[in-house]
Chains A and B, each alone.
Chain A
Amino acid sequence: MHTLIQALQFIGHNGALPSDPAAPTLVHLTLQMLAISAAGIAISLVVGLPLGLWLGHLHRFSFLAINVSNIGRALPSLAVLAIGDAILGLGLTVTEVALVILAAPIAMTNAYVGIAGVDPEIVDAARGMGMGGWRILWQVELPLAIPLVFAGLRTAAVYVIATATIASLAGYNGGLGYIISDEQSYHQSGVLGASICVAALALLVEGLLALLQRALTPRGVRLERDVDDEGIEAILPVTIGG
């Protein structure tokens, strides 16, 4: 309890460290973290989404598309970050690359399963009406796949934030992980404070993306789905793949 109050005070003081006036503030670190995460998420999406959408539309390479994220899930993010830093040196680029390697498969697999899982009869009907491949993907498959695609996006985003936090343990000094990894200087209260911030940040991002998803989901699709599908669906489709 005592620690909690101290942690909240820590947050209130913007992470000021009496022993080191030049230490970065909480706000600065949080923004840094957001920046890193945003970049990581963006690149992951750019890499993973189009590939997943396209492969899903073609219904090709399903084994690869589904299992690449199984492998990705098995990689301990800590080890990946550390190896990246070791082999290629410390740096922002390396960290970002590691983030993308870990998060892109999630986005890709969910996009794949979302698109490939669209009822084939609907696609058939669209083709029968004379719609070309590209138009089918854009106007038919994608809107129907939004829940799953977004689930992938949300999971990837949260995963990037979590990994960015761990990045400090592997040698990269930035973001809120900077505080968490330095208990000697910041003491338990500081670490707890930073942890609370990270947790809040993750929940905030997840919540915002959930709202965005609801806004983008076509009304017909939204009506169809059960109430309980609001959760993180990223996991489910990959499972049934066997």
Chain B
Amino acid sequence: MPVPHTARSEGSSGFAPAAPLELRSVTKRYPGQAVPAIAELSLEVPAGEVCVLVGPSGSGKTTAMRLINRMIELSSGDILLGGRSVLQRRPDELRREIGYVIQQIGLFPHHTVGENVATVPRLLGWERARIAHRVDELLELVGLDPQEMRGRYPAQLSGGQQQRVGVARALAADPPLMLMDEPFGAIDPINRERLQDEFLRLQATVRKTIVFVTHDIDEAIKMGDRIAILREGGVLAQYAAPAELLSRPADDFVAQFVGADRGLKRLTLATLADVELIEPNGLSPSARRVPLRTTVRDALSMILTAGGSPLTVVDDQGQVTGLVTLELVGGLLGKDGALAEPDGPAGGGGDGGA
């Protein structure tokens, strides 16, 4: 397993490789309670992927996450990080190799932004120059100006800025795994979307193994490479990529949790670039022009707003590439549609949709 304090720090390409995570029959039972909080949970997260834990409250998603870095101790089962059991290490040492981001952020009020970010490197005993370099590097990575922000105190930052510092702080020692517990929950919706987008961009660069907890299915679909839906008692209902989850929910519970509009949700997973557009000949195009990167769902919304009229699709240079119509979108999810799932039985379970 890569040892974090050997991480190179010459830029984002210098991030150490991520480690795979495996939960094996993990159980957590609290004394005096008949039903365990988590019962025999098993799943694997390949290195560099984002696994989102979703579920209603009481499903034990935060508990499961906190078992990984031993903030809560296992009752039985094992958790392997990079092939090595977390039980073999001292909890403090283990946690220095796992990035931890919580909803209320928990920045140290008495430390500057720079000192906050430097926390784990300091615990690991890095030299001062290296720490300073790393702090600047990370602040830039999360979109904050190091010169301006380094010496500020958390009380002087907005909520969004604090959250970014929290993420930078978690990345500081270049951990192979990150745990994030509703990190954007305390942010207003507008900034939340922005932070989510930036985080996805960040992840594309650093490619960490991430376990992300949320109660919001839309956030899960947006952020996750794989989604684990937990029901009460930490029981795994389904563990799959978003597209599969939306087209083939495993049972009624999942179907309900995912929502009756899962068809529409599936359309958020694709953009107009993924779709074969209609040649613009003969049909009267609407004045409305939309870029290729628009999600299919947003495009559908615009078509409906325009009363069913087609939209003209343009590329980044403004060149017309084709038309998208209501009929085109309507056929995408069907059996032979462009966005249908390639393998597995057609049609989903539950409400007989898709």
Q: Are any A and B Cβ atoms less than 8 Å apart in their complex?
A: no
- B residues sitting closer than 8 Å to A (CB atoms) are none
Chain A interfacial positions (CB closer than 8 Å to B): none
